[in-house]
Amino acid sequence: MDAVSLVALLLISAGLLQSLLLALQSWEHRRYARSCMASRDRFGPRGRVLVISPCKGVDLGLADNLRALLDQDYDDYDVVFVVESEDDPACAVIRWVSAERRRGRLLVAGRAAGGGQKIHNLLAATAEIDPQYELVAFVDSDARPRRDWLRLLVSRLDGREYCAATGYRWFVPQRATPANLLLYSINSALMTLLGKRSHGLVWGGSWAIRREDFLRLNIRGHWQGALSDDLAAGQALRADPRPTRFEPGAVVCSPLHGTIGQLFEFVRRQYMMARFYAPHWWRFGLAVLLPGNLAWAALAVLAWRWRGDAAGGWTVAALAAALFGLSMLRAAMRQSLARVYFPDMAASLRAARWFDLVAAPLAALAHALGAWASVFGRTLSWRGTRYRLHANGQVEIISAGRFVAPDVLAESPDDREEQRGKRRRAA
């Protein structure tokens, strides 16, 4: 056997081994999620909670997202919505829904002079946290939590075993477009990497911490001048000996509609921020993406070199079947999670689940392309504002644009018509 074929076989073997290990991790994630979701009725409120939701622009389904947040089965909590300016179109929706639900208040933070706008909003909201609040929770405006989200998110934060608790997002494609389906598959694969302990990592769209720990760990200090709220907070959380808990009950659905360009910009932005705020995780993430994609490339090389050889052809076919079979097994396990997390959405996610089953290798390639693009450059765009990141994690605002729909989640025609109707009624 020549050296090229031998290297190709070694790469394929590495890809198969990694795929098997990831399948085992997917199984463990599903086992853990099922166990937690089955026992979620056992947990009651932990104390008074301040929920902070930074907003910018009109997210897809924003009104329904806010209603879900204000309708939690947790009596003792307050919600603060934080915006940059009164001119933000989100203000009209926030006021409308807050008046409708008789809960929630609006805080105008002003424009950020340095650091990310979301960070600036969070700093304004946490400048003085009233001692009456025992816990602080954070949720993104594009998240649509279940009624028991807040109760489950804070259920284990008794100050002893865990320092913080985090959920994650589960994208819900609004249309079965290539961009939506690819990002759905990428996000589903990432989510199954989470286990009971998240090693100091939190997702900024759904996490909570006790007020005393928030102050003691100086999370506000880590936020100063930064762009990524969750990765900067993670730097502080890792200084605490207690782990951060991943809470399956705090997983939130997030409506999704975007373009291929927005998909790649979204993936690149996530990895770009990891490059500057969690470089070890960034390098690990890039490395994890290599074996699977290289295995398919090596298989193509092997098929070319062994063309015309009957035995070689059968070997290539068997290796391809093994790679694709393990890919489908992993996809099947993670797509069964849709029934665990959001059983009422199983029907609406049917197309996305089938896409993940048959096209997971394509999604893995798109994921790798977006991630490896983060190796180059220092600038990125986020909700209409362009930033430049510096080596120390500090960020420079290059240009601040008008209020726009989110970078990945775009308004649908129905949402735009709903907002026009609300503005007419408000006038």
Mean pLDDT, to the nearest integer, of 30-53? Answer: 89
Mean pLDDT, to the nearest integer, of 161-177? Answer: 94
What is the domain range of residue 403? 379-425
pLDDT band of residue 403 (cuts 50, 70, 90) is low
pLDDT band of residue 425 (cuts 50, 70, 90) is low
- DSSP label at residue 197: B
In a domain, 27, yes or no: no
How far, in Å, are 58, 171, 347 from residue 191 at the CA level? 26, 11, 20
In a domain, 38, yes or no: no
**Same domain for 286 and 406?**
no
pLDDT in tens, 57-94: 888 889 999 999 999 999 899 999 999 999 999 999 99
**Same domain for 284 and 420?**
no
In a domain, 37, yes or no: no
**Same domain for 127 and 191?**
yes
**Same domain for 80 and 114?**
yes
In the listed set 268, 292, 320, which residue is the last one of a domain according to the structure?
A: 268
Give the predicted TM-score (pTM) of the model.
Answer: 0.89
**Same domain for 73 and 214?**
yes
**Same domain for 226 and 291?**
no
In the listed set 359, 374, 389, which residue is the last one of a domain according to the structure?
A: 374
In a domain, 274, yes or no: no
**Same domain for 232 and 344?**
no
Contact (CB, 8 A) for 178 and 259: no
Per 3-state DSSP, the chain is made up of helix, strand and coil in percentages (nearest 5) of 55, 15, 30
How far, in Å, are 74, 102, 344 from residue 38 at the CA level? 19, 32, 16
Q: Strands 164-166 and 105-108, how do they pair?
A: unpaired
In the listed set 249, 268, 287, which residue is the last one of a domain according to the structure?
A: 268
**Angstrom distance (rounded) from CA 406 to CA 382:** 8
**Angstrom distance (rounded) from CA 103 to CA 120:** 23
CATH number, domain containing residue 199: 3.90.550.10
For 198, counting Cβ atoms within 10 Å of its Cβ (0-12 exposed, 13-18 middle, 19+ buried), the class is buried
pLDDT band of residue 406 (cuts 50, 70, 90) is low
**Angstrom distance (rounded) from CA 13 to CA 319:** 9
Which residues are CB-neighbours of 335 under 8 A, at least 6 positions away? 188, 353, 356, 357
pLDDT in tens, 321-367: 999 999 999 999 999 998 999 988 888 899 999 999 999 999 999 99
pLDDT band of residue 412 (cuts 50, 70, 90) is very low
- pLDDT beyond 70 at 124: yes
**Same domain for 384 and 346?**
no
- pLDDT beyond 80 at 418: no
Looking at the structure of the chain, the number of domains it has is 3
Give residue 162's pLDDT: 93
Residues linked to residue 400 through DSSP beta bridges, in sequence order: 385
**Same domain for 312 and 202?**
no
The kind and range of the H/E element at 256 are strand 252-256
Compare 413 and 10 and report the one with higher pLDDT: 10
**Same domain for 119 and 193?**
yes
**Same domain for 119 and 142?**
yes
The kind and range of the H/E element at 83 are strand 77-83
User: Mean of the per-residue pLDDT values for the chain?
Assistant: 90
Residue of 41, 85, 242 lying closest to 157 (CA atoms): 242
In a domain, 188, yes or no: yes
pLDDT in tens, 205-242: 999 999 999 999 999 999 999 999 999 999 999 999 99
**Same domain for 241 and 262?**
yes
**Angstrom distance (rounded) from CA 371 to CA 356:** 19
Mapped onto helix, strand or coil, the DSSP state of residue 218 is coil
- DSSP label at residue 410: P
